[in-house]
A and B are shown apart, each in its own frame.
Chain A
Amino acid sequence: MNKDIKIEINHVSKVYDTDLVETHALKDINIKIYEGDYVSISGPSGGGKSTLLSIIGLLDEASGGELKIEGKDVTSLTQDQAAEVRNTKLGFIFQSFNLIEELSVYDNVALPLTYRTDGLAAEEIDKKVKECLEKVSLSHRLDHFPNQLSGGQQQRVAIARALAADPAILLVDEPTGNLDSTTGDQVMQLLEELNAQGTTICMVTHDSRYADMARTKYQLKDGVLQVEEEQLSEAV
């Protein structure tokens, strides 16, 4: 593969120091995620999946190691620098959608764009928002509020919101966890389509069916990352 490296993680570890015990949630993790890749991370509960995704998403700090996004070292940023990286380079899709109740579908999608430091013009925001909602087939729900939407629709709004800033990568944590299986399948299909159009995705799931939809599959167990067997053999 001769593509750009979107995310590079070297020797990342995470230790939670609680009163009683030290939990080594991540141990010496190394990953490279290339442009256009579709990465899944699965594994048993408590394996460290969410922890890893939080660190990649700059929502949490690693205890050691190095993290690069599009070649830029982001291991130790100030909070506002990290906010800017999250705003422009990262798109988040959460298990519980995390839409803002008081904002309409349109405004939810526009929200990250309003945080941009380069200050987009209103028309530009409008264009982007509509484009992204088009991608998730929700153009007809612009003025609805989250509580007027089904769970699947809400998650699609969240996906549109994540896409709005043209991120380097979509970070997805259990996107179907709060959805029934049919709706979940639809959301997964949407992600697959987006990937086909070139969006880089890193997804955490413990559902092996969905994990199998990814091109690159990792297993995270007791904080240790393993590439899945079949893929290894494929690569050989």
Chain B
Amino acid sequence: MKNSTLVVKQSIKSLSRKPTLMFGVIATLGLTLGAFISVLTLAYYMFLKPLPYPDQERLVTVEYRALNAEGGVMGNAFTYPGAIEIYKNNDSFDASALMFYATSVMTSDSAQPTVATTSVTPEWFDITSAKTSLGRVFTADEGLNSHIPLAVLSHKTWQEMFNSDEGVLDQSVSFNGISYKIVGVLSPDFIEPRIRADQSSTSVWLTWDQNSAMAKETWSYIDGGIVYVAKVKAGVTADIAAQQSSPRASELFNQNNVGIPFFKGWSIELIVTSLKDKVLGDSQKTVTMLVLGAFALLLIAMANITNLFISRTIEQHRKLAINAALGAKKSQLHVIFLLEATLLMLPAAIFGLVIAYVGIEIMQAFFTDLLPRSNELSLNFMSVISAFVLMVVLILTFSRVNLSMINYKELRAAIQSSGKGSGLQVSQKTRSSLMVAQIAIASLIIFATSVLFSEAYKKVNQPLGMKIDGLVNVNFSHMEKHSVKWDEMAALLVETKAQIERLPQVESVTFGESPLSSFSMWAATDVETNENFVPIGKSVDSNYFNTLDISFIEGKGFDRSELNGDSNALVVNQGFARLLSGNDSALGKKLLVRNKEHVIVGVIDNIMVPGAENDAARLYVPIDKANQSMLIKIKDNQTVDRTDIVNIIYGIDSKLAVFEFESLAQTKYMSQFGEIVTIISTLAISLISTILAGLGLYGVLNYTTQMNKFELGTRLALGSKRKQLILFVFKNNLKSYAVGVSIATAMLIIAYLIDPNLLSQYIGFELVAIGVYTLALILAISWIACYVPLRPILNRPLVYSLKSGD
């Protein structure tokens, strides 16, 4: 074509006469492309991009797993001396770093904020090649047993808590009564590997020795705060490293626990996992699902748009025929199609990139806790490339589809005929396959999202077996944690509790940790049978169960008189009672706990704690006078906030600090954030695909209805009733429905055959119910898509449908 600018101008002009078409295409494709590119970018980080650390393929985490004589997992955390021993003496690692995760009250700040601190040995900074923007990191002689408290701030902490003060290197920060000299501020580029899914980013890095691990000398206590990161020697795999180090760890554990019958026959297994796998966790599956979901949405959108293009081409049939009659070559028609597709796809791709950018921002703002490496995420070269590739694919697809509809020879002849040429026969087939594709994809998406939705919904709405409304959990700490005597501390806590109870908004206060916070593991031995158990437990007050409205199956709770540290009363939950005595009463059973014989005085219902087994064995002992944690029951429509509590403790002892203040509802929300996000996103995806598929089917059927207006009008003239006509049209499309739904079912079966694990966890009545729901929903959409285009034919006087022309 000689005058190409003229052609471009003509195309733009002809498109701008169809603003809804243009807007529809750009919006639909932009949104779905954007969603796809953002999850693709995420997937790139998860699957392809190496971690941003030197020799990242050699970085591993080491875990310490305790197994009993039968091989049952009894614990999954390091003993403190066990970690130190491996750190000092191993053959598999070029470098090892010990880390201790904690949340601590920064008492050097008058607001007493709680921040995430991580105590590390200096190798940590080498392993992650952390650079500083101010000062330095810890040096090799500031490691284990150097006993000089130092701190390095994260860049964000320096900005937010120290106002980017350049003079920060002359200052100190205090945690738990220890003052740490600040030696450096990390560079803003530093990306902390999120080794634990529930871990917030570290605000302050501290030297190892001052970490707040308990029982640093005992081999019989495991501490979940300890994390071990290492760089394996070149040529050593994770498995080999685990094999090399496990026997010695086991030996040391047994040597040091010799004579404790509880640990008889136990062994230690070191679990060595590549750091990348550890960081990604089990979210690879989630991201795969996201990619597939976004891709399916994109496919539905593509089907919709193909249909729009087809309709447009048919609309232009006459114009094209005139062009052909006037001598336009086939290749020239192709150029016109390509040009039109490009004019639509280019803005759609640009819009898609904008959406992807927004999507990534959203992921970073809200989902860093759920999606690993989203803290590294940014729209990158890969995203732009994929947008470009997708755009080209779309352009070629659409212009190809258009071209395939046109029989050039017939086009030239078509100028005489009135339109219903054989070009339409082809397009009827194309249209049916478009409908089939849309129905199949939409069924799959709706089915999959409904399954995920119902799982998550059930989890969130499962009864807890207790009432947490109006309850707030408060934790206190003492600045001289390690030197203050318990009797002294208990007296302060009792006074604090009494004063909180006097607040007019407060209904009652009970000592005891939040039932939603993690329980610690206890060793318990049945005195009769000598059988060992590792239940999880808490120390609680006499009105703890009452406050939480947890009911007793048998027996009772603790008396006030038993809260003195030498009671031998014990309350267990149903799950533990079952383990101990099957279906018989567990009351009166004797257990050796903390080297003292205890008697079970009560059995409570199981409580449901998000993330834990419902029938996990739990035990409760009475508190020794007080507890650092309290539950405050607030009166209806009243509030208590952190400052109310801080004001009270200031009046009691300035060394007390509020370590944590959180309503149980908030704790529950946070712990079920993943499920809540699943609920929202599956709802959104299912809604979007329903709408897209509905629009797509409507588009196809609207066009065919228009095409067949004459025939439908004739049927009405011959006496067809409204209902008969609607049914007739619906039946005509039932085949597409049946084929689409069958394809979807076949794909599910194939997916199941390839990977039975994918669905087996769901299979059951519910799956059938969701299947029926999906079929019904798609049927309803198809019905509406049939009915709506028919309405004008049914509702206007028939004579309009019988007129030829419009």
Contact = CB atoms under 8 A, between A and B. Distances in A.
Interface of A: 54, 57-61, 79-80, 83-84, 86-88, 92, 94, 96, 98, 100-101, 111-112, 115-116, 161, 165
Contacts of A94: 714, 802
A92 B710 CA distance: 14
Interface in B592-648: none
Interface of B: 710-711, 714-724, 794, 797-799, 802, 804
Nearest to B723: A80
A103 to B, nearest CB: 9
* Top-3 shortest CB links A-B: A87-B719, A59-B798, A60-B799
A116 B710 contact: no
A100 B714 contact: yes
Contacts of B720: 83, 87, 115
A54 B722 CA distance: 19
A83 B711 contact: no
B719 A84 contact: yes
Contacts of A83: 716, 719-722
Contacts, number: 60
A61 B711 CA distance: 21
B719 A115 contact: yes
A203 to B, nearest CB: 17
Given A83-B716, A98-B710, A111-B715, A60 B721 contact: no
Given A54-B799, A101-B711, A165 B719 contact: yes
A79 B717 contact: no
B794 A79 contact: yes
Contacts of A92: 717-718
Nearest to B794: A79
B719 A112 contact: yes
Contacts of B798: 54, 58-60
Contact of A86 (B718, B722, B794, B797): B718
Contacts of A59: 717, 797-799, 802
Given A54-B799, A59-B802, A61-B797, A80 B718 contact: no
A86 B406 CA distance: 40
Given A57-B717, A98-B714, A80 B722 contact: yes
A94 B804 CA distance: 11
A193 B722 CA distance: 35
A80 B716 CA distance: 10
Contacts of B717: 57, 59, 86, 92, 98
A190 to B, nearest CB: 20
A100 B720 CA distance: 14
A115 B802 contact: no
Contacts of B716: 83
Nearest to B724: A115
B459 to A, nearest CB: 51
A114 to B, nearest CB: 9
A116 B719 contact: yes
Nearest to A171: B717
Contacts of A87: 718-720
A59 B803 CA distance: 11
Contacts of B718: 86-87, 92, 111-112, 115, 161
Nearest to B800: A60
Nearest to A111: B718
B91 to A, nearest CB: 81
A213 B716 CA distance: 30
Contacts of B802: 59, 94, 98
A209 B715 CA distance: 32
Contacts of B722: 79-80, 83
Nearest to A94: B802
Interface centre among A59, A101, A112, A165 (most CB of B within 10 A): A59
